[in-house]
Structure 1
């Protein structure tokens, strides 16, 4: 017997039972559903809607059900549709008709909104911690490898020399913004929807502030229609998660490139790679490739919910049952990706000689020649042209800028003197850029210290 079938004359079609049910995935909300129900039962007694004895009996029954769930002994059934009705049915089986009083002054509409918010609060906190752990790994790597100099790239072409630490810290900064987005998202998750009923609240004298305090919410929703129809907080989380995955995917792409024989900048630990079934020599960067691939599924979950919500009238519609699978999948994907990426990076080795050698080609110090000329009072646009001609000359004569003789330098401009060789030495080029946010050693050390302090405060 269904808990809602008083108005129905025909039994539910078996295929409809299967198609309509959400218990195949919303079982993950079990402990949150029980947590919310306990707070609701306490409030019902406090407000005199049910007796204190009934409330205690309900809570005791819910505690026993939670034990069953955590022990893997709870039997979920499709016939009962969702997590709410599975738990309520089990409660009434355990304690009798008193269990039916629990649903007083609430609907599954505000109940599920509560469950998802409780779930997402926990998951955001866990993901924040994983983001911080990866940030810490990158700070450690930056400090350990602070003396490695490499080319910085634009358009995947060698551009200017930087420190590897500077490159690693770029992702550490991106992760910092990811962390901030999660913090901000949490504020909008942390609002209690329970008490909104199906859409129009309830006539019972409930105390929503009491429930909010019991469950640790910062406030209560101010419009019952909005509270049960809102999934903005899920969309916002999915968007923040998509940005996290985008950052991991960009980093993964670089690792994939850097491990290639053509670059040979990086050695990823064997424990994070696989081989080939046919080519014995192969060592494939599968983990970065998988993270790059899984980014697409997280994007898809965001787009799916945006498309689902875009045409829904107020308030609740069954379409909104489709909010959970993508959310659960995103949470699992982001958590696993962050954890495995941090572990992989901690064991990754960077090839200092290869990276440094790559700065010797591609004229990565050409901008420094232009800066040198500007220091000699030559307008930058004129300096740019002079250096462009000198680079073309080097290409034609198979030379590096550092290999030009003074006579050759002065063919391009009479202002060149012997100090040009020091000015365009790779270490000089890097450490001369000591403005805030630059790649100079002194600035890298400052940023590492600053970011460690910020992580400690968080």
Structure 2
């Protein structure tokens, strides 16, 4: 038997082939059932009510359709299993509605509507819900960063450039910097949300419809903020998917960088951070180990979320600008997975950050090592001795070299070493008292004098922290308003649906 004959015997000669069912239709059906079930019925409700308002359905017809819609919507989604008689979940539901109210009435529910605009609307409804969940959890992370940061406005630590100790700062200043990056991530998520929360309904296949419909009515019933005005754009424009994916990629990339810091801070060699016992595991063979697996998993999951989000961009890239399956059911789960993984990471790191213990003494010791306060010595030469900064930099560099050869830290350097270095650079002597040298080598003094806007001075850091607390409250208030508007729209929609059903029953 030839290969072609074998395949046809296995798959059959009529659509859908068994392989097509197993590899595509059944998995797509399951994804639609698991992700889009509720959104599909929300759209049915809003569309039927609009058709009635515009006189395209009678009130009695609308009531009968809505009663059948609610009967199916009340079922457990798991009851819906793939059936080869139907291409997908939506045709199955239409078939079930025909059994309830007849073919003509079930068919009229789709006046002025296409699977195209309906599909895009479902994707947007699900995506906005997931984005709001992610934004809420990012807000929780920001609160944790501010909370712990405020506890450590005076916890001195080295700041790093090129992975090397550079200058003293505070843990509070560091955590504020992480917060500010995450705050910008929040803004990107809000931007994505705004572009997701637009209604494509009324675009129909791609050119609207000849029926007199009201796109704004459906938009308001579903809690969308705007209508995607151009009907071609409503169907073809997938940039709302790309913006969401990109914002997730940036969020998880940003998170991965400071998570990597956290893993370094947790090492026994670094000994700066202790992850709470609830978030570490003990080695199966080495009982002394405290493995910060919660942080490791966060790093791994953030990379996985980035990969899922990147898949969205790759799938849309170089596709035609129109209705195309590449932006539909095969793509959507990647975006949902990217968001779900991001939420898991954010929740986990919020818990870890909120419960960490800090080795303040060891961090303070490190802030005195490696001559990382020597910039202040150069600054003091400029302020008190009237020399240029570049000259002061050369003198300070020589002091560092001499101290290193002598096995001294900066707070151990005698005035004579400054005098010698100055003579080599300036050709004349320049002196500092032992008291002055002790002051400029003190990391606490280094931090205290850096009180210009954005600096690590505890007073300035507290000012920044208070501003950010206020902005976080405003952001949370915005979330509450947005969520409340959606909930109100859903309640109004359901009130109208129940009213129509009751009047139809009468």
How high is the TM-score relative to the length of structure 1? 0.94
Q: Does 1:426 align with 2:435?
A: no
Matches within 5 A, 1:240-279: 240-279=247-286
Q: Does 1:456 align with 2:470?
A: no
Question: Which runs of at least 4 in structure 1 moved beyond 6 Å after TM superposition?
Answer: none
Q: Which residue of 2 aligns with 1:10?
A: 14
Q: Which residue of 1 aligns with 2:42?
A: 35
Q: Distance in 2 between matches of 1:378 and 1:393?
A: 21
Q: Distance in 1 between matches of 2:254 and 2:89?
A: 35
Largest Rg, 1 or 2? 2
Deviation at 1:267, TM superposition (A): 0.5
Q: Distance in 1 between matches of 2:32 and 2:277?
A: 38
Where 1:68 maps in the other structure, the secondary structure is: coil
Q: Distance in 1 between matches of 2:32 and 2:226?
A: 25
Q: Distance in 1 between matches of 2:122 and 2:324?
A: 17
Q: Which residue of 2 aligns with 1:332?
A: 340
Q: Distance in 2 between matches of 1:14 and 1:202?
A: 36
Q: Distance in 1 between matches of 2:420 and 2:221?
A: 80
Q: Which residue of 2 aligns with 1:4?
A: none
CA 1:384–1:324 in structure 2 vs 1: closer, same or farther (change >3 Å)? same
Deviation at 1:62, TM superposition (A): 2.4
Q: Distance in 1 between matches of 2:277 and 2:129?
A: 34
CA 1:146–1:314 in structure 2 vs 1: closer, same or farther (change >3 Å)? closer
Q: Which residue of 2 aligns with 1:5?
A: none
Q: Distance in 1 between matches of 2:299 and 2:99?
A: 48
CA 1:78–1:144 in structure 2 vs 1: closer, same or farther (change >3 Å)? farther
Q: Which has the higher contact order (CA 8 A, sep 6+)?
A: 2
> Does the aligned pair in 1 maintain the 2:94–2:106 contact within 8 Å?
yes
Q: Distance in 1 between matches of 2:462 and 2:124?
A: 40
Matches within 5 A, 1:17-416: 17-21=21-25, 22-27=28-33, 28-69=35-76, 73-77=78-82, 79=84, 80-97=86-103, 98-321=105-328, 322-375=330-383, 376-413=385-422, 414-416=429-431
What stretches of structure 1 of length at least 5 have no aligned partner?
1-8
CA 1:225–1:137 in structure 2 vs 1: closer, same or farther (change >3 Å)? same
Total equivalences in the alignment = 448
CA 1:374–1:404 in structure 2 vs 1: closer, same or farther (change >3 Å)? same
- CA deviations 1:409-454 (Å, max 9, x no partner) are 2222333322232122110001111011110000111111111111
Q: Distance in 1 between matches of 2:99 and 2:268?
A: 65
> Does the aligned pair in 2 maintain the 1:196–1:224 contact within 8 Å?
yes
Deviation at 1:280, TM superposition (A): 2.0
Q: Distance in 1 between matches of 2:114 and 2:182?
A: 39
Deviation at 1:275, TM superposition (A): 2.4
What stretches of structure 2 of length at least 5 have no aligned partner?
1-12, 423-428, 476-506
Q: Which residue of 2 aligns with 1:3?
A: none
CA 1:81–1:165 in structure 2 vs 1: closer, same or farther (change >3 Å)? farther
CA 1:401–1:96 in structure 2 vs 1: closer, same or farther (change >3 Å)? same
> Does the aligned pair in 1 maintain the 2:185–2:251 contact within 8 Å?
yes
Q: Distance in 2 between matches of 1:123 and 1:36?
A: 18
What root-mean-square deviation, in Å, do the aligned CA atoms of Structure 1 and Structure 2 show?
1.7
Q: Which residue of 2 aligns with 1:417?
A: 432
Q: Please, which moves more after superposition, 421-430 or 79-88?
A: 79-88
CA 1:453–1:269 in structure 2 vs 1: closer, same or farther (change >3 Å)? same
How high is the TM-score relative to the length of structure 2? 0.85
Deviation at 1:191, TM superposition (A): 1.5
Q: Distance in 2 between matches of 1:209 and 1:382?
A: 69
Q: Distance in 1 between matches of 2:441 and 2:309?
A: 48
Deviation at 1:78, TM superposition (A): 5.5
Q: Distance in 2 between matches of 1:441 and 1:84?
A: 60
Deviation at 1:81, TM superposition (A): 4.2
Q: 1:439 aligns with which of 423, 441, 456?
A: 456
> Does the aligned pair in 2 maintain the 1:373–1:415 contact within 8 Å?
no
> Does the aligned pair in 2 maintain the 1:259–1:265 contact within 8 Å?
yes
